[in-house]
Amino acid sequence: MIERVIDTVQNFFSTTLNKQGTVIGIRKEDDLWRVQIEVAEDVEYMRKRARDDLMAIYEVGVTSNFEVLDFERKSMRPRDNTFNT
């Protein structure tokens, strides 16, 4: 079941937002799955200044029917920085 939730989130980001991501966390809250996914953000400002890509962590809500209910960006960091800043 967890694999299907992960596939749902990765497919949503890939097809809807045109972003590839890596699931870094998942938990069940009542009838809702909460999934954290890390994706590279395409930020024009950073690209123009030859800076590193930014990595964003999103939290995604997935229903028991494997539908994405909501998503929210929780944090961003430079790709080479392993800590949230």
**Distance (Å, whole) CA 24 – CA 73:** 14
Q: How many domains does the chain have?
A: 1
Q: What is the CATH number of the domain that holds 28?
A: 3.10.450.630
**Residue at 84 is within a domain:** no
Q: What angle do CA 54, 61, 41 make, to 5 degrees?
A: 15
pLDDT of residue 24: 97
Per the structure, the complete domain to which residue 60 belongs is given by 2-78
Helix (H, G, I), strand (E, B) or coil at 1: coil
Q: Find the distance separating the first CA and the last CA of the chain, reported in whole Å.
A: 33
Residue 22 banded pLDDT, cuts 50, 70, 90:
very high
Per-residue model confidence as pLDDT tens digits over 32-79: 999 999 998 876 655 666 566 788 999 999 999 999 999 999 998 877
Bridge partners (DSSP) listed for residue 37: 23, 58
Residue 83 has pLDDT above 60, yes or no: no
State the pLDDT at residue 44: 67
